[in-house]
Amino acid sequence: MANPVRKGLSNILKKEANDIVILSSLRTPITRSYKGHLKDAYPEELLATVLRATLDANPNLDPALIQDVGVGVVLSELGGSKAGRMAMNHIGMPTTTSFYTVNRACSSGLSAITNVSHQIAMGMINVGIGAGMESMTRNYGSKAIPTVLWPELKKSEVKDARDCIMPMGLTSENVAERYGVNRADQDAFAVASHQKALKAQQEGWFDKEIVPVHTQYQEVDKKGEKVGDVQQVTVTKDDGIRANASIEGMQKLKPAFKENGTSTAGNSSQISDGAAATLLMRRSTATELGLTSSIIGRWAGTQVAGCRPDEMGIGPAIAIPKLLEYTGLKTEDVGLWEINEAFASQAIYCLRELGLEKRLEEGRVNPKGGAIALGHPLGATGARMLAGLLPEMERQGLETGVVSMCIGTGMGMAGLFVRE
């Protein structure tokens, strides 16, 4: 079977029968953990919503033809595999469709999409869904640090082993200190993320990617006490965007992770709840099924790279060059960039290292804001980013886009996508 990953822009833009094409890429709203309107939803409930929306968006596809569903999830009990499978069957997908979850920390959603793409490329399946789900409200009690761990690892003589459980905020401080990213630049970056996200929301630029969630919501006060009765709500918008974000406001925030540090609650990503899903198939399968008019894009390759755990935020700066080499592209061949804003410190460093500062000014990097404004529901983020990338590529008339993120324990991942 021919390799669907091709080298060089002209070859990548050609349409071939073995392409891994995308028919839909959708997400729920991303809302603030503990405070937002999805705080009482279950992760599998959010997954069910976006899987049902995927079927509804593709009414001419028999659900029985979807052979496998891979879902990125980081925090759920048992890796989310049982609850996720239940949710898949609950919304009408048959038992003949198989299911699995994947955990590569912050890149889990992109990993799931990549895994399904690889399954199709190798002929293992013809049609699949790559997705992600996370409720950090329900499952972030340990702050994503293992509570039961082999004691030998905690006292390992290998620093990189010990550093795998370093709190993410401290890795952000390391990046800022080692690579000269100051507090003022981080605060300005954070304000810009909110401003871009606010404009995108007001202009309706998120509308194509978001599906509503019907769920229950219990209002609570600042002490966590219940206020009123449980409400049935329909959530349609991201709620972490701060319309009043300002440099002055950011400057008032104290360092969140280290005394005299530069990373704050304001210039770091929000902990959030949400889900997303992408429907993929081989182009020849889409042709056989009469679905070519539904193709909106295609997967064109993914790469992952490792780095020191104590500066995991530099991940995109090493994964993206590896992806460009793998696909035979130059930086200027990529039209749009979605680089996860785990922390302003690492996002700024990566943009500088990759030479993307001008692209940022031109609205070609995170033009609708990023995780600082929208949130970072760990297992869902990669899939959320793709759901945002494709309609933005359409809006700007761009052909190629990259999704990339840093990964806890010291990695980076980057995926290349083409719009059709």
Q: CB under 8 Å, gap of 24 or more: what pairs does 224-228 form?
A: none
416 pairs with which residues across the strands?
301, 402
Do residues 270 and 136 touch, judged by C-beta distance below 8 A?
A: no
Q: How far apart are CA 99 and CA 51, in angstroms?
A: 12
Cα four-point dihedral sign 88, 90, 93, 95: positive
Do residues 235 and 29 touch, judged by C-beta distance below 8 A?
A: yes
Which of 131, 133, 135 lies closest to 55, judged by CA? 131
Q: How far apart are CA 80 and CA 63, in angstroms?
A: 22
Q: Report residue 142 as tokens.
A: 């340990």
Q: How far apart are CA 286 and CA 361, in angstroms?
A: 38
Residues in the chain: 420
282 pairs with which residues across the strands?
20
Other CB atoms within a 10 A radius of the CB of residue 292 amount to 14
Question: How far does the chain reach from its first CA to its final CA, in angstroms?
Answer: 23
Do residues 235 and 31 touch, judged by C-beta distance below 8 A?
A: yes
Residue type, 14: K
Q: Calculate the alpha carbon distances from 81 to 234, 240, 385 in Å.
A: 26, 28, 22
Q: How far apart are CA 127 and CA 248, in angstroms?
A: 50
Q: Look at phi and psi of residue 209 and say left if phi exceeds 0, alpha if psi is from -120 to 50, else beta.
A: alpha
Give the residue numbers annotated as catalytic, written as ranges: 106, 406
Which of 204, 265, 20, 14 lies closest to 126, judged by CA? 20
Q: Report residue 83 as tokens.
A: 């609850």
